[in-house]
Amino acid sequence: MKERLPLASSLLGVALAGACTVRGTEEPILLPAVLSLGLVENQLRLVELHLPEGDGVNLTSPGVESPVSYCYWPTTGEVVVSSFRDGGVELHMVSLADPSYWQSLTEGGNHYWEVACSPDGSTIAVTSDTEISSEVLILGLDGGPPRRVLAEAEVASVHPIWSPDGSHLALLASVRPSMEAGAGPWGIWIVDVRSGEVTHRIEGPADPGADLAWSPDGSRLAYSLRRNGQSADVYVYDLSMGIETAVARSDLNEIQPEWAPSGGELAFLVQTGASNDMRQIATWSPAGEASDLLEDGPLPLEEVLWVDEARMLVATYSQASDSTEFLLLTPNPYRLQFISEWP
């Protein structure tokens, strides 16, 4: 059996774009190269996949152990990776332009499990773990000491996501009765990066791995929460009005919200199978209700990424070929085209 390259649980990142001809049509379509964590010769690696060829470039430098998280700057092609190294989880930088490039950013037994690159390319937000807590820190690329995002010592924080203008971080936070106590219910907090002030608090309980997505203009935050204790529902929070809207609320799990480039629509996955492996794609706009896109029914979806306002890149797992298949979805008029597969 072939080792397939499973896509990362986080949203796929658009790394590059190049003109190609999708199978079955002569229309040239711009498709991205995507970054993903996956298996290469039974080792977890960071890989850049090229579409529609379906080939990949291993970006993990020799001697670096398994990567656990990454973020990147599209304008420069630089990728920040957290990976096991020297008894900790440290940060280093690689380059899409030069796969042989490698630069260590941290050392000394840190445990930086999550990374988020600031929009201006100057800083990184990380989730740092200690024996009794998790907290979000900000690190500059100039080598200066890290600083805490939240001033309250009794608050645990994880999963930072930058606002598009870099002025705020959305993160998951939990107030502990004491430093020795475990984390309580998680909520979503929005924090002013410069002052450390919490400007918005969204009641949970949230899963520590909850999906968060800023709208392109930074006016709204989409997220998936398990408020009823049974299923995850998608909501949109309007920052200026302080109002939360339930995009989808049902007995099914709605996950992985992703805004269209204009912010006019929100796409998300709806888990419909008994084991949550079959998923439908739904979209929602502020002017209307959510609607399903896959006319032929749910698929074993792994990721969905907007290519432009009219089309989405869809990654599915094919059990027959034991591979990840990439499809191009055009909702109107409806068309689902095969592009490529890995491996």
Does pLDDT of 84 surpass 80?
yes
Exposed / middle / buried, residue 27 (Cβ in 10 Å: 0-12, 13-18, 19+): exposed
DSSP at 90: E
CA distance 326 to 315: 5
* pTM, to two decimals: 0.87
Q: What is the pLDDT of residue 51?
A: 73
pLDDT of residue 49: 73
Q: Is the pLDDT of residue 7 over 50?
A: no
Mean pLDDT of 312-321: 83
Where residue 174 falls among pLDDT bands split at 50, 70, 90? confident
The tens digit of pLDDT for each residue in 13-38 reads 433 334 445 545 555 565 666 777 76
Query: Who wins on pLDDT, 340 or 51?
Result: 340
Q: What is the pLDDT of residue 111?
A: 92
- Measured in whole angstroms, the distance separating CA 84 from the mean position of its chain's CA atoms is 20
Count CA atoms closer than 13 A to 74's CA, side-chain side: 11
Percent of the chain with pLDDT over 90: 35
pLDDT tens column, 99-154 = 778 888 998 889 998 999 999 999 999 999 876 678 999 999 887 889 999 977 67
Q: What is the CA radius of gyration of the chain?
A: 20
What are 263-292's pLDDT values in tens digits?
A: 999 999 998 866 667 899 999 998 877 889
State both tokens at 162: 């930058």
Q: Cα–Cα–Cα angle for 128, 133, 138, nearest 5°?
A: 30
- Residue 249: CB partners within 8 Å, gap ≥ 6? 233
